[in-house]
Amino acid sequence: MRSRTRENLAGWLFVAPVVVILGLFLLLPILMALWVSLTAWNGQGSPFTGGVPFVGVDNYARLFTEDGLARQDFMTSIRNNLYYVAAVVPLQTALALFLALVVNRRKAFFRTAFYFPSVTSSVAISVVFLFIFSNSGAINQLLAFAGVDGPQWFSDSRGVIQLLIGEPPAALTEHGMLGLTWWDWLAGPSVAMCAIITLVVWTTSGTFMLMFLAALQNIPKALDEAAMIDGATRRQRFWRVTLPQLKPTMFLVLTLGLIGSWQVFDQIYVMSQGNPAKTTLTPAYLSYRTAFRDFDYGAGTAISFVLFLIIVLLTLFQRWAMRERKA
C-alpha cells in the first residue's frame, strides 16, 4: 500500500512540469480566449475586470450575419484559404507520392535534397522565394526565356480564373453570398497566392515523401513479384498493387495536409501581409491582424475559434470519408 502511494507521488512529480506548462500555456489560454471572444476588449488593461464590455456572440455574428467590413474580410480570408487548400493538398500529395516512387531504393542524396526544404526556417525560405518571385527575379527571367512576360507576382491581385476568362458577366458581380459577390468567390486564387502555394508545395512535399517512402518499403516484395508473374504491366501493378497498399499513408498525408493548410501563417506574414487587395488574407493571418493591428481582440479571437472548428470538422469529415470507401 505504501509503495502504491509512493508510485502515485513519483508519477505526478515526473509529469508535473509538463502538466503545468501545457495547462498554463495551452488549456488556460483557450478558456481565457473563449471569454475574450465574447467581449469587446481593446487590449488596454486586463480583459477580466468589470470595465470590459460583454457583448455575447456579437463578435461571431459580425463574421457571419452582419453586413460589414468584418464579414467581408472574414469571408475573403475563407475564400482565399479554400483556394489555397484546393491547390496545396492535391499538389503536395501527388508530388510527394511521385518523388517517393522515383527515389525508392535510390541513392540517399535525392531523398536528402527533396527533404531539406522541410527542415529550414519558414521565414528564411520565404525571404528566398520573395526574391525568386520578385519583378526582376528568377521566375520572371525564366519566363522571359520562354517568351512570356511574367506578372508582378506580389502586386497582381487578379485571380487566375479571371485572367483566363477576362471580364466577368454582370450577373455574377451584382449578386452574391455572405458579403462577397459571386465573382469574388469564383475569381480564383490571385497570382500572389499562387506564388505562396508554389513555395508551400515545394517545402512540404519532402516530409510527405518520407512517409510514402516508409510505406513503400513496408510493402512485401513478393506481392509485386506475384503480380509480375501473373503478367501485370507496370501501370497495372502501380494502380492495383502498390496504391491500395499505400491507402493508410495516403489517409495520413491527406489529413495532415488538410489540417496544415488551414494554418498557413508564416509565409503570409513575411511575403504578402494579406496583400495585394486582401487576396492572400487567410483566417489565421486575419485573426492575428484583427487582434494585434486593429486591437479588436474580441473579433480576432472569434476568428481563431471559427478556424479551430473548421480544422476539427475537416478532420472528422476526412476520417469518415476514408472509412466509407474502405467498407
Nearer to other proteins, 190 or 287 (CB): 287
Q: CB of residue 21 vs other proteins: minimum separation in angstroms?
A: 4
Nearer to other proteins, 183 or 262 (CB): 262
Kind plus residue range of the DSSP H or E element containing 314: helix 297-326
Closest Cα partner for 318 from 236, 237, 259? 259
User: Which residues share a beta bridge with 190?
Assistant: 159
Rounded Cα distance between 49 and 58, Å, is 19
Q: CB of residue 165 vs other proteins: minimum separation in angstroms?
A: 30
Nearer to other proteins, 191 or 211 (CB): 211
Q: What angle do CA 284, 127, 185 make, to 5 degrees?
A: 40
CB atoms within 10 A of CB 98: 13
Nearer to other proteins, 76 or 249 (CB): 249
Rounded Cα distance between 19 and 93, Å, is 35
Q: CB of residue 289 vs other proteins: minimum separation in angstroms?
A: 11
Nearer to other proteins, 105 or 167 (CB): 105
* CB-CB contact of 93 with 70 (8 Å): no
Q: CB of residue 236 vs other proteins: minimum separation in angstroms?
A: 19
Q: CB of residue 94 vs other proteins: minimum separation in angstroms?
A: 13
Cell readout for 217 is 518499403
